[in-house]
Structure 1
Amino acid sequence: MTSPSFSAPASGPSPSSGPSAADLRRWRQYLADERAEAQVYRELAQRRTGSERAILEALADAEGRHESHWLELLGDDVGKPRRADVRTRLLGVFARRFGSVFVLALMQRAEARSPYDTDDDATAAMAADERIHGEVVRGLAAKGRSRLSGTFRAAVFGANDGLVSNLALVLGIGATGVPAGVVLATGVAGLLAGALSMGAGEFVSVRSQRELLAASTPDPSASTAVPLLDVDANELALVYRARGMSQEAAEARALDVFGGLTTATSAIRLPRAGDAGITAPGSEGPAGGGALGTGTGSLSLASDEHEEIGTAWQAAFSSFCFFASGAIIPVLPYLFGLTGLPAVLVASALVGLALLGTGAVVGLLSGGPPLRRALRQLAIGYGAAAVTYLLGLLFGASLG
């Protein structure tokens, strides 16, 4: 008598037995989440125009394809509509109220957390879709991140510097055993001195950076000399070679420019890095349009090419305000009359919460894990404050 043979169970629900209760629950949750994500994209689309709106509407339609997949699997077992998970519902609220780059950053993370890669009931195409959706949202968020980066950088750095430096100052002075009034005065002085220093430093830094970049931007008035050049002996090709074109490509482009002078001489402009055919100096780039030549280019810059840096006044004002807003927090316990250890504990707790908040915001905007960024900010801030507090204790003991 031969022993019976057993085959390994196939993955997924058996056609004869049907899906399990766990399968149905999971599919219904996927269905609810897909519907909610599609609605988030539609809400975001309502706040956009042009191509951005069309892209967001296309993403909503793609989530509809995924919805159809789960509806087909569920068949008659769809049941009552379920609620999406908490994160997706919060995204919907944010999309309706704000529709900002923060929401796009959250959607980017949501797409990256898709469980379809490891779920046998989701198709490979659906898993690939989610990855591509994340890249689409990343691209949409890039412009908003670029606008925010200058002022946001100054704001975050200013707030964190205010939190950490003034907490360290207050704890260090307090550890020496001086009266609470001296600690309060020191904290206020540190707030004002630090805020003014941060504001002045950011103003000088950003202004200098913009001036350096502007020095590399072609002078629009130089284009007026092009029609007057000797066609047989001129240095126009050298302009292209200086900005990264090969000798052959530069000479070909110069010939194209002179060939078009008769059709439109008022729109000639000099090339800038980033134009088609223009690469960084020292590298070879192909010939192409968009450099000095005829066309529709303006003699002046149509928009701020260094938008991501921000303006000097914006950076200075943001640094001043955010440093002050951070630096006031360690002083609050002393303003309300606390002294000694209670004041130290309350100040440390308040600063810790603020550091967690700024770290989480940075994580969200950068597309990284907010909890990890928040804990990193907390560890750095508390580390600096703890060292200063210990030094204050040692200094106070030596004075005693």
Structure 2
Amino acid sequence: MNIFLLVIFSLITIENITAQHYESYQKLKDTTFYSHHLGYAKELSIVVPLEWDTAIAKKFPVILIFDKQNKRSNQYILNTIDYMTTNYQMPSCVVISVASSFEKRYAETVHQPTTSKGKAKENEQFIFDELLPLAEKELRASTFRMLIGHSRYGYYTTSLFINRIKDLSAVIALCPFYQQKGVNWADSVVHYYPNGHQPVKYYRAGIESDYMQDYHHFENQVNRNHINIKGIEFKTADHNVIPGLTIAPALYEVFYFWANQQNLYYSNTHFNAAQLDTIETQIEAHYGAKMRLSIGVLNGKGWGLLERKEYQKAIEAWELLLQEYPNFADAYWGIIEAQKELKIDTTSTIRSFKACLDRYNYYTPQEKEEMLKELEK
């Protein structure tokens, strides 16, 4: 009886661990996508930021996480992305988790020189010719592309970083290895020698000691002027623990430049709208794709200016926020407060606030109702 209760408790605990509770994201859908290149359907899970909306043309970086079927690892990575986004350490992203069945996973990540059954090339075509174009067309994904893969998919995403570096922005390889029969990525030169100011490419790896020598050999083939590469050795960590140990610092380092530029805007006490344009231009030059600052920072800038009684500048800051996130109705609250201090009629702003709530679904129906009640007060 005690064993039975222990099993039930364990099942409940696992369910709670893998439950999908996000602060900055929402599950869009679980679906299947038929790949003509692979010749079968792939299971996908799509998570988007709360501010994502089909009615808004703004785009988001895209992250592909492989091995969705590993629920514990996949959910931990998703929760880490959510945590980093909520705390303004990385931009909001479209995140697609891709499952692989036990029967097909080996073939998807092995190349023809290793075995005639290898479908690595077909998998590459699925990713770059089918899945990523779909994400750009249907999910508002930008050209910033990150791949996250564990074990065999750590090996495979490393191979894509080498072979398709111009089509990728970053790879986080968890427990990768670098050699298979007939294939040695440790000896492979990464051909990325851009002229002028070209985007920085990121490679991060959490590595078991058995493969650290291969990693160092691979690292020596990389041109560090244009590729930001780092591998961390875990000497005693279990193979299945390394993803959790690696993912947060890897994401932090990839998006450090973005977060630092964002902080320059937030911490500067002298508000200048042109400064935001300069910062966004620098971010785009660094990553090769536009990345908006987070809602929290843009909103906080407005409230900071309001607190310092710089009412007109506060209004300008919130108007900039609404240019980036037109569905964030809370910005109108701040504008109304500043207009009241300046003795400006708020009728037009209130009308825009109501229209925002009516048009977009950033807020739940209950939240909208509460906001309208508060407005009446």
**TM-score in terms of structure 2 length:** 0.23
Larger RCO of the pair (alpha carbons < 8 Å, separation 6+): 1
More helix, by proportion:
1
More strand, by proportion:
2
- Kindly name which structure, 1 or 2, has the bigger radius of gyration based on alpha carbons: 1
